[in-house]
Chain A
Amino acid sequence: MAKPRTTSPRTPSSTKAAKPEIMSGAAVILRALKDQGVEVVFGYPGGAVLPIYDEIFKQNAIRHILVRHEQAAVHAAEGYARSTGKVGCVLVTSGPGATNAVTGLTDALMDSIPIVCLTGQVATHLIGNDAFQEADTTGITRPCTKHNYLVKDPEKLAEVMHEAFYVARSGRPGPVVIDLPKDIQFADCPYTNAKDKEPKSYRPQVAGDDSAIEKAVELIAKAKRPIFYGGGGLINAGPKASKLFGEFVRKTGYPATLTLMGLGAYPASDRQFLGMLGMHGTYEANLAMHDCDVMVCIGARFDDRVTGALSGFSPNSKKIHVDIDPSSINKNVAVDVPIVGDAATVLEQMLAVWKAKSYKPDEKALAAWWRQIDGWRSRKCLAFTPSVKEIKPQQAIQRLFEKTRGMDCYITTEVGQHQMWAAQYFGFDEPNRWMTSGGLGTMGYGFPSAMGVQIAHPDALVIDISGEASFLMNMQEMSTMRQYGLPVKAFIINNQWMGMVRQWQELIHGKRYSESYSEALPDFVKLAEAFGGVGLRATRADELDDLIDEMIATPHPVLADICVTKEENCFPMIPSGRAHNEMILSPSDQEQQTVTDKGMALV
């Protein structure tokens, strides 16, 4: 199997090698960042990166944001990247700086977020000697990066810097680490701007195969019970991909569902949108997936959270799968029409075929399909009874959504029930507005990520929908926000439990709530004040709206402690090991639905 090549013409190599300038390695690094258009670096200093910090001191083009933990630096860069479409940039020291970044790198790998992370390293002659603050950074990060480099040759520094950015943003984006020994930072290095140089061995395929596209479009046109299933790839392919996806969906009149990572790629407010699918997806989205006859998957990867039990996954459909990463195709689910390519490019090709062949959907079949879907919809799987006294978590998020409608608003989340409620009750009409840790499910992602979003969009309203347990994992970033005047809002759904853990224990471990109670919580209002921010609290439903208004109006970092009902469960839910058509809709279903032995072993 030949490695796919781009169909775009190769960049001419005629950029006649101008005589390279000689400068220190650290200067080369800064210069390359500048030439790559980097505006901001999230970082934390240490011995092995001091020469780079010295260069940062001497210039103004690139802004450095001093985080309080290296994990947060990577998450901040992820938030920055995901909300702008640019590459996020991180700078950390050797040893502990690099190991602290590992969770962030893994998170970025799983969610395909373009990151370039510069790590300091001990001098080349000390590598392998267990020197002070030495870690085998390229060894440790090899499985959690898209690619990594250890620069040992001053001649190669400039080229590696530029290649790293190319690799991070091209094809399926991902994190790239450049490990930089301290002596290289001091060494005389030649600098040439190799900005557009592509490594010969990495040229992802952008355009889809024409005959596969024709076959796919014909299948789509002849479908009787079709569904569009979009994912994070639509977001990564840029706003154009979402626009084209919307165009195709509307042109056909077919229903569409999105994964957790894809939310915003199609307007949530549109009638053709069935909501998110998967473990906590809507009844109508999951049943439509189960019963469809043609599934059009674009930029999603048939993740286990999405498919449920593979044996019962959409048993009677023809499946079309568009993905830039050939290894995502036919991995979990065998598909009928695989198409390797960029989501935007392939959608453009598909639309062109649809128009050229003057395809029309089968209106009669489609009407019947929509009647069936509307039947599922009428179950109102997300309905809940708002409480008048206590605050229901769903209600808190729904009110937050209502009150921020029409505002220039970005949402990040932590991981747990609140994350799923946010995905269910906060509607996104545009891409790049929703930042969440999908693949890795990293508690502590949301708050630093929001910080990165706020840096990129200083005037926007940036809210981390958080859980009280997750918040404690990266709360030190309050200090960073205070330092840079970043008015990020943490909207903490405080149920005093690691709610998602408690829910699973209730469901499959006989209500034995082992170590899932959030004991000895801090007073979040005082905590906010201690950091120089603003703390707010609501304990009753009638305080909720006022709190949200006040929070939005506060031009400082805010911790909003939303004390919600404690034992609410997140529904609908496909228990692990079950198929899409075996959803639990309510607590009463829950009693009857037992998890299979096989399902017990799944996460």
Chain B
Amino acid sequence: MTTTDQPIARHTIAVLVANEPGVLARVIGLFSGRGYNIESLTVSEVDEVNARSRITIVTSGTPMVIEQIKAQLARLVPVYDVHDLTMEGPHVGREMALVKIRNTGDKRIESLRIADTFRARAIDSTLESFVFELTGDTGKIDAFIDLMVSLGEVEVSRTGVVAIARGEHVHMPLVRKAKAKRRAKKGADE
């Protein structure tokens, strides 16, 4: 009955929240205060008219801990909805990375070639460097970065995972009417 002998698994959780001050601090505080693990967390407003943001959290824990995380998230007052994408069926998860590499000569050519196989685009270049833009699942980006590291000095910026369920079912629909007037952007989430 204890939690210790249960297997630890990684879960991707999508949370729809009111885009109001402090909401991200609440979510992060919940994870740190209760000792839960955050592997990645992304957030952005998804519905300007109704001021809703979507947070994607990748976390890991035993089944009991994952249940706890979801229940704790769901009881936060500004949280509308919580979906465990890992539990609910197939889903796609993607992140984007900007990878800067500094090198010259053969290594420079090799990095371009690898970028091509990974469908990474060079979006900035000097005679001694590239910045590649790359999207994919976490594994693909990890693999790309590992290869780059062997070819030069590397700097990385990653977004963390955004995810959505596969299939036709819309779990957390945008409640906004298509024609609704866009408001002037009201400043950042936090």
Contacts and interface: CB of A to CB of B under 8 A. Distances in A.
A47 interface: no
A325 B82 CA distance: 15
B79 interface: yes
A599 B1 CA distance: 19
Contacts of A3: 74, 79-82
Interface in A310-369: 310-311, 313, 315, 325-327, 329-331, 333-334
A200 interface: yes
Nearest to A313: B1
A148 B25 CA distance: 12
A142 B2 contact: no
A318 to B, nearest CB: 12
B90 interface: no
B108 interface: no
Given A2-B81, A3-B74, A142 B68 contact: no
Interface in B68-104: 68, 70-72, 74-84
Contact of B77 (A146, A310, A311, A313): A146
Given A330-B64, A333-B1, A334-B64, A1 B74 contact: yes
Contact of B75 (A138, A310, A315, A325): A325
A262 B33 CA distance: 27
A3 B71 CA distance: 9
B26 interface: yes
B67 interface: yes
Given A326-B75, A327-B68, A142 B25 contact: yes
Given A2-B81, A3-B82, A330-B64, A142 B71 contact: no
A310 B1 contact: yes
A273 to B, nearest CB: 27
A139 B71 CA distance: 22
A147 B80 contact: no
Interface size class of A (residues with CB under 8 A): 20 to 34
Interface in B51-75: 64, 67-68, 70-72, 74-75
A150 interface: yes
Contacts of B173: none
Nearest to A335: B1
Contacts of B139: none
A313 B3 CA distance: 13
Contacts of A202: 77
B100 to A, nearest CB: 34
Interface string A117-152: 000000000000000000000110011001110100
A331 B68 contact: yes
A167 interface: yes
Nearest to B78: A201
A199 interface: yes
B54 to A, nearest CB: 14
Contact of A201 (B29, B33, B80, B84): B80
B131 interface: no
A239 B70 CA distance: 31
B161 interface: no
B13 to A, nearest CB: 9
B21 A139 contact: no
Contacts of A326: 71, 74-75
Contacts of B68: 327, 330-331
Contacts of B17: 201
Interface of B: 1-2, 17-18, 21-22, 25-26, 29, 33, 64, 67-68, 70-72, 74-84
Given A3-B80, A148-B22, 4 more contacts: A2-B82, A150-B21, A310-B1, A310-B2
30 contacts: A1-B70, A1-B84, A2-B81, A2-B82, A3-B74, A3-B79, A3-B81, A138-B22, A139-B25, A142-B22, A142-B25, A142-B26, A171-B75, A199-B77, A201-B17, A201-B77, A201-B79, A201-B80, A202-B77, A311-B1, A311-B2, A325-B71, A325-B75, A327-B68, A327-B72, A327-B75, A330-B68, A333-B1, A334-B1, A334-B64
